[in-house]
Structure 1
Amino acid sequence: MNWKFWQRNKSAEPKKKKSKAREWTDAIIFAVVAATIIRVFFIEAYTIPSGSMEKSLLVGDFLFVSKVNYGARIPMTPVAFPFAHHTMPITGTKAFWDGVQWKYRRLPGLQDIKRNDVVVFNFPEGDTVALENQNASYYDLVRGAGWKTVNSQYTIGSRPVDKRENYIKRCIAIAGDVVSMKNGIANVNGKDEPLKDTGMMPYRIQFSSTDFNPQVLADLGINTAEIQRTEDPQAYIVNASAEIITEVKKLDFVKSAALSAASSTEVESGGIFPHDPNRPWNRDNFGPIKVPAKGWTVQIDSNTMPLYYRAIRTYEGNKVEQKGKVWYINDKEATSYTFKLNYYWMMGDNRHNSLDSRYWGFVPEDHIVGKALFIWMSFDGEGSWFSKIRWSRIFKGIH
């Protein structure tokens, strides 16, 4: 047979048409791959689950988080079920396989993390999880009940960095900064950083009588369901911003309104970072603490190790031991350590309703997911689905 003739006739044969099932399969595979690429490298949707960022972000806000601003993080656990973070929605089993782990790498970004950026990151203490009580930190459970009790009562699991729970907080201090807090006012590098209109703190309001209309406070933006009574029947504790309190003070039935921060001697239930008995700090009074920076060398002693032990051991992957008064890193006696990663100090805007760096410490750079950009939808959870929409928050930028 003539080869050219055969080729001509073969090319003239009609191509076999794909079946409907094959077309749908190809379309679904393409959509999944395209959506995964967008989600991993460009932008991802995120929901606000708690009130820790009020009043900047509200429960029911749906955000878009940019992976481009800080540089997209290359997946560290590449074998995972699409669109499931760490747990399968129906079976409750793991949605990833940690048999393959890639080193931390990040694509070039448009900017570095700046102070006051609203950042999404993986929960640093989420490496170990009590599966039956995932809302609580495993380490808090151990500090409260002891290792033996917790490990006998719960099924304990582990998660790689990129499969830990997603948190959203405001970056208060960046690598190299010195952060502290006194009487509820944060201080960074010696400069006080009081909450602006975005944040909430408890205030004690002294009324001129017990006869007042709570709706007046609600109209100013105070959640009246959260108002707390005090020993004085004419005084209440409310959660509000400084700007709201300025308006409250103008009311004729208000005698005074002042910040109600914990005293420096008040003991914090459960303790705060670094959970050191020599540092009796609380959520409104702590520090100073220097946030580790890549290339910064810290002297190792009994004063610094409570602050930096977890960063050196867990986040940077070193073997750390103490023998007597001598510290060993990777089986070598060590009097100093030079950090390999940058770290950040994250706090919620709703300062007395936020589990943040005050309780679990630094956020390593390899835990950073992205920068919160804007709210694309928001529901207040009351009424019909249409009336639930907070129209004023749609496409609102995050500052």
Structure 2
Amino acid sequence: MAVQSWEERLAAANAAAATNTDTSTPHKKPKGFFREWGDAILFAVIAATLIRWATFEAYTIPTPSMEHSLLVGDYLFVSKLHYGPRTPQTPLQVPLTHQTLWGFNVKSYSDAIQLPSYRLPGFSEVKRNDVVVFNVPFEDMHPADLRTNYIKRCVAVAGDVLEIKNLQVYVNGKPAVDPPQSQNRYFLQVNEPVRDKVFQEQGISDFNSPTGVPQPQMTQMGPAYVVDATPQTAEFFKKQSFIKGVVLDQAPAGQGRPRYFPITPITRTARRPLRRSQNLEQGQLRPATVAQGRPDGAAHSGKHAHLPENHHALRAQ
């Protein structure tokens, strides 16, 4: 019997491996184009939904209540980790939507199933002068977790005494710090129409107007423009020849406005002392705690949608 050298044995082993066909494991069929893209889109939607629920969410400022701190159209990300994310209450919802489908006035959710809502731990609490995003408590046509989002400034927390006197917010008897460029509401009595360019140059806008700036109105004092402006801007208009008078919108203390809650003596510029206590129901503000503040947001405050269940704050819309 001939003895094979190691070179011959290695060559024979390679030849046997090349001719050996293993039929026990079938070859994997590669994914098709649409299957591959479908899996990628599904993963992206799931990941985006989890990030949006548990970490942060993008918002666009829709109204001018926070001008000039935040402007209409500003794009911002809001952290949900600080106050703790809230578990979803409405599971039957089209992912990445809020209330309606994009481009359609059709509900994007079904409230057939409503789950109990729990607050996960956060690493912070709402402090005075924090700007917070929350769900409005009075919107009963939507579930609590799908109500309209508001962004306001929190000026009082649990145990504080809030008071508004002569346009100034007081917390625990001390004047609150006004944000830069705080605005009040004025009536501009005019001798002639004011050009839109004048309002634009002074940073005055009215997003309820088709032109984006205030339009003349017939008031008790005659033709006038109703504007939200800083005291410095009001002084500018007082010096203009086309302005007959600048009147601050300041209602007398004790003159109530029925559209505000509670139905007690309360105005835009004055409010009796209000102690903030635990007057919440299922983590939402009751209407009895709503008070009116300054139009620039200095006296706006809120129960954040992501507050811990035992934390309470005051919202003035």
Q: TM-score, normalised by structure 1?
A: 0.57
Match among 284, 299, 315 for residue 269 of structure 2: 284
Q: Please say if 1:200 is aligned against 2:200.
A: no
Match among 237, 245, 260 for residue 249 of structure 2: 260
Mapped to 2, the partners of 1:349 and 1:96 lie a distance apart of 35
Tell me which residue corresponds to 1:27.
40
The 1:164/1:218 distance shift into structure 2, 3 A limit, reads: closer
The 1:120/1:206 distance shift into structure 2, 3 A limit, reads: same
Tell me which residue corresponds to 2:204.
222
Q: 1:48-127 maps to which residues of 2 (within 5 A)?
A: 48-89=61-102, 92-126=105-139
Q: Please say if 1:241 is aligned against 2:223.
A: no
Give 3-state SS (helix, strand or coil) of 2:52's partner.
helix
The 1:234/1:73 distance shift into structure 2, 3 A limit, reads: closer
Q: TM-score, normalised by structure 2?
A: 0.70
State the Cα distance separating 1:244 from its structure 2 match: 3.8
Q: Please say if 1:272 is aligned against 2:260.
A: yes
8 Å CA contact 2:99, 2:147 repeated in 1: yes
Percent identity, aligned pairs only, is 38
Mapped to 1, the partners of 2:246 and 2:105 lie a distance apart of 48
Which has the larger share of strand? 1
Q: Which runs of 5 or more structure 1 residues have no equivalent in the other structure?
A: 1-7, 130-158, 294-307, 318-338, 358-362, 371-399
Q: 1:1-399 maps to which residues of 2 (within 5 A)?
A: 9-11=23-25, 13-89=26-102, 92-126=105-139, 128-129=140-141, 159-193=142-176, 195-203=178-186, 218-223=200-205, 225-226=213-214, 238-245=227-234, 248=236, 259-268=248-257, 270-275=258-263, 279-293=264-278, 308=279, 311=280, 314-315=281-282, 350-351=295-296, 364=303, 367-368=305-306
State the Cα distance separating 1:112 from its structure 2 match: 1.2
The 1:40/1:121 distance shift into structure 2, 3 A limit, reads: same
The 1:272/1:252 distance shift into structure 2, 3 A limit, reads: closer
Give 3-state SS (helix, strand or coil) of 2:64's partner.
coil
State the Cα distance separating 1:210 from its structure 2 match: 7.4
8 Å CA contact 2:126, 2:307 repeated in 1: no
8 Å CA contact 2:156, 2:276 repeated in 1: yes
The higher relative CO (CA closer than 8 Å, separation ≥ 6) is in 1
State the Cα distance separating 1:86 from its structure 2 match: 2.2
Give 3-state SS (helix, strand or coil) of 1:10's partner.
coil
Deviations 1:178-235 (A, max 9, x none): 112123222211122263324321246789x979988566433334942767777899
Deviations 1:69-111 (A, max 9, x none): 2222222223321012123346644423334433332333232
Tell me which residue corresponds to 1:146.
none
Q: Which runs of 5 or more structure 2 residues have no equivalent in the other structure?
A: 1-21, 207-212, 309-317
The 1:236/1:100 distance shift into structure 2, 3 A limit, reads: closer
Tell me which residue corresponds to 2:11.
none
Count of residues paired in the alignment? 277
Give 3-state SS (helix, strand or coil) of 1:162's partner.
helix
Which has the larger share of helix? 1
The 1:49/1:236 distance shift into structure 2, 3 A limit, reads: closer
State the Cα distance separating 1:344 from its structure 2 match: 8.7
Deviations 1:53-72 (A, max 9, x none): 22222222222222122222
8 Å CA contact 2:256, 2:265 repeated in 1: yes
Tell me which residue corresponds to 1:335.
none
The 1:79/1:198 distance shift into structure 2, 3 A limit, reads: farther
